[in-house]
Copies of this chain bind each other. A is one copy, B any other.
Amino acid sequence: MKRAVSVIYLLLFACGLAFAQATPYKVVFDLTSRDSLEQIAVMRWVKEISAAKPNAMLEVVMYGKGLELVMPGKSTQLSAVKEAMKNPNVSFAVCEGAMKNNKVSRDQMISGIKTVPDGIYEIISKQHEGWGYIKVMH
């Protein structure tokens, strides 16, 4: 009996620790804009965070017109995206629904870009898993 109660206290203590620990640096960025100011903003944040915290998990989810960030001829930030992708903790995910709506095929985007069936579901899944959420908009 006493041991069972001890186990319970240990569990509660462990739960307490779990809640008290520092926030992990995990952010999903929501990019729907084609505006170059938004492209510049999100890539600056990714670059700065990645430099200061190389273990930070960062994902930029693009839907609506956001996918232009990774399209040669449309993006003002192609080299920044390619540079950021060298860090395996940074990823870029394009919504396949947005690709269809905008008649964009895979070969119109730089290589190595992840696609997801549904950008909004990708974002809320990350939120559900405890990632922070930032809407990109200047």
A contact set with B: CB distance below 8 Å: 1, 3-5, 7-8, 11-12, 23-27, 30, 32-33, 41, 44-45, 48-49, 52, 64-65, 97, 101, 118, 120-121, 123-125, 127-135, 137-138
B contact residues around A1 at 8 Å (CB): 1, 3-4
Partner of A137, one of B5, B23, B133, B135: B135
Min CB–CB distance A21 → chain B (angstroms): 10
- Interface contact A133-B133, CB-CB below 8 Å: yes
Rounded to whole angstroms, the CA-CA distance of A56 and B136 in the bound complex is: 25
| Contact B135 A48, beta carbon cutoff 8 Å | no
Contact B4 A5 (CB under 8 A): yes
Count identical subunits in the complex: 3
* 5 sampled A-B residue pairs with Cβ under 8 A: A7-B8, A8-B8, A23-B125, A23-B128, A52-B118
A79 to B12, CA, bound (A): 46
From B11, B44, B45, B124, give the contact of A26 (CB < 8 A): B124
Nearest B residue to A8 via CB reads: B7
Q: Are A137 and B134 in contact (CB under 8 A)?
A: no
Which of these, B23, B27, B32, B41, contacts A64 with CB under 8 Å?
B41
